A and B are shown apart, each in its own frame.
Chain A
């Protein structure tokens, strides 16, 4: 991140610059953003906590420090992993501001606000809606295939390598390019990534529904199912798909998932008692 250059600069003029250890400390702190998540200003204290080493380095004067802390305690909320990109851009801006360039506090706040919405809209579907479900489902399959401990290990390792690698890169790129990053939002790259993840995620969800959702109808009661094996499995798969679609319908009608789950427990118990399920 050009630290050698910065170090030399420091000796030339007395302007504080961010050091390697600040970047490392901020990278580590990035993983703690949500600890103080609150309904008033959401991730505000989290973001201030992440920036804390930079504020300490850049603003030795109390007056500046107070102002910096206050502006980063304003409302903030985005998808946690994507926040590293915002952090990088803000570090770039704060360093310039400390250097005496004409950047107002309002500008920094509005850059944060401009980034958090779109990044939240990308981060949640990609990380929580695609990468995590696919990794955890594959890892569960590893367990079910008899490889035991390798399932959790692979899940934990794969997720965290991706997450930490992304955070590191995003913070670096954000810092290097500053507000130019916002141009990226208009370009096709983010759209392509979102689309690819959605396409892959839905394809995999289709597979998971066929493999894991089981509606155990007692099919031996119907004559035709007793004789033709493949109709049996096709029927079960279609039942699984219809069940999933019913669940979406209920969720779309603002019924909380936990109620849908309770409903399915009830359905399972009553169905078993009535001999529909086996």
Chain B
């Protein structure tokens, strides 16, 4: 890999790391991160395809309240580097690499969030002196640290010889490679389970089942099904506003519970 594309990958890694904690621009979502790494290494189409595949796996991974989810940005950057870069491993293998790095990224994130208390005490001192510029600088310094959280591991992976990595993945027995391929289809279930675990209640199961059956039996494509979903939601909301008293009580209680749970997390 040339020096320029190496620097570009590290730059992408830096922005991905920062956005991973901010959770704003969504640069850290595999769909975007892998595409950017693909562009930096000059192999954009592989990056996009890897990104779309990884996106389905990580779709429900989110930080709720104070809980830190497995990291998305670090594994997206590193597997895109391995797939699109000179190591040129297959997408299947790239995905297998994401799991350990998701754990590494999560541990690093928790570590920084704990250590941040030190900087927070510095910020208290800045407040004591009424020094706003210092306060701003401490905040941006911690943003930079979160960026380095992805840059440093990416750089370390770059130091490993691509030829070695390529031959390493070739040595993996085909039973494991094909088994991983089978698993990829199943792992998408985990992301959906996380989303459902957060939102679902008794009435919502019917909506889930309706979407499921419609998709399984009709064979319509996903874009048409989305439009159907929007129309049904509008009709439902319109209908329940016309009859405000029907079955709203139970959802009230559920919502209250959710708020309580949220408060407990805090």
- A interface residue numbers (CB < 8 A to B): 31-42, 44-46, 48-49, 52, 55-56, 62, 65-66, 69-70, 73, 77, 80-81, 116-118, 120-121, 124-125, 128-130, 132-134, 136-141, 143-144, 148-149, 151-152, 155-156, 159-160, 163, 188, 191-192, 194-196, 198-216, 233-234, 237, 240-241, 243-244, 247-248, 250-252, 257-258, 260-262, 264-265, 267-273, 277-278
User: Chain A residue with minimal CB distance to B123?
Assistant: A45
Q: Per a CB cutoff under 8 Å, which of A120, A143, A160, A272 touches B65? A: A120
Interface positions, chain B 181-213, Cβ under 8 Å from A, are: 181-200, 204-205, 207-213
Classify the secondary structure of A's interface with B: helix
In the assembled complex, 23 residue pairs joining A and B whose CB atoms fall closer than 8 Å, in A order, are: A32-B22, A35-B21, A35-B140, A36-B142, A38-B120, A39-B66, A52-B136, A65-B132, A134-B226, A160-B26, A194-B255, A199-B207, A201-B199, A204-B225, A210-B213, A233-B216, A243-B186, A258-B102, A258-B106, A265-B179, A265-B187, A268-B186, A269-B179
Main secondary structure of the interface of B (DSSP, over half): helix
Q: For residue A217, which residue of chain B has the nearest CB? A: B182
B residues near A148, Cβ cutoff 8 Å: 45, 48
Q: Please give the number of chain B residues whose Cβ is less than 8 angstroms from any Cβ of chain A in the complex.
A: 117
- B56 at interface by CB-CB < 8 Å: yes
Residues 117 to 144 of chain B near chain A (Cβ within 8 Å) = 117, 119-120, 123-124, 126-130, 132, 135-136, 138-140, 142-143
Cβ-neighbour of A207 out of B127, B180, B215, B266 (below 8 A): B215
- B192 and A258 form a contact (CB under 8 A): no
Asked whether A265 lies within 8 Å of B99 as measured between CB atoms, the reply is: yes
**Pairwise interchain contact B212-A206, C-beta atoms closer than 8 A:** yes
Top 8 closest pairs, chain A to chain B, by CB: A206-B211, A268-B183, A214-B185, A269-B179, A38-B116, A247-B193, A206-B212, A35-B143
Other-chain residue from A39, A116, A152 in contact with B31 (beta carbon distance below 8 A): A152
Given A36-B139, A55-B132, A139-B31, the answer on whether A196 and B210 have CB atoms closer than 8 Å is no
Chain B, Cβ-Cβ closest to A80: B23
Contact of A121 among B117, B190, B240, B258 (CB under 8 A): B258
Asked if B8 is at the interface of the complex by the 8 Å CB criterion, the answer is no
A46 CB to closest chain B CB (Å) equals: 7
In the complex, how many angstroms separate the beta carbon of B204 from the nearest chain A beta carbon? Answer: 4
List the A side residues contacting B24 at CB < 8 Å: 31-32, 80-81, 163
Task: Kindly provide the distance from the CB of B50 to the nearest chain A CB, expressed in whole angstroms.
Answer: 10
| A46 proximity list for chain B (CB < 8 A) | 139
Q: Which of B139-153 contact A (CB under 8 A)?
A: 139-140, 142-143, 146
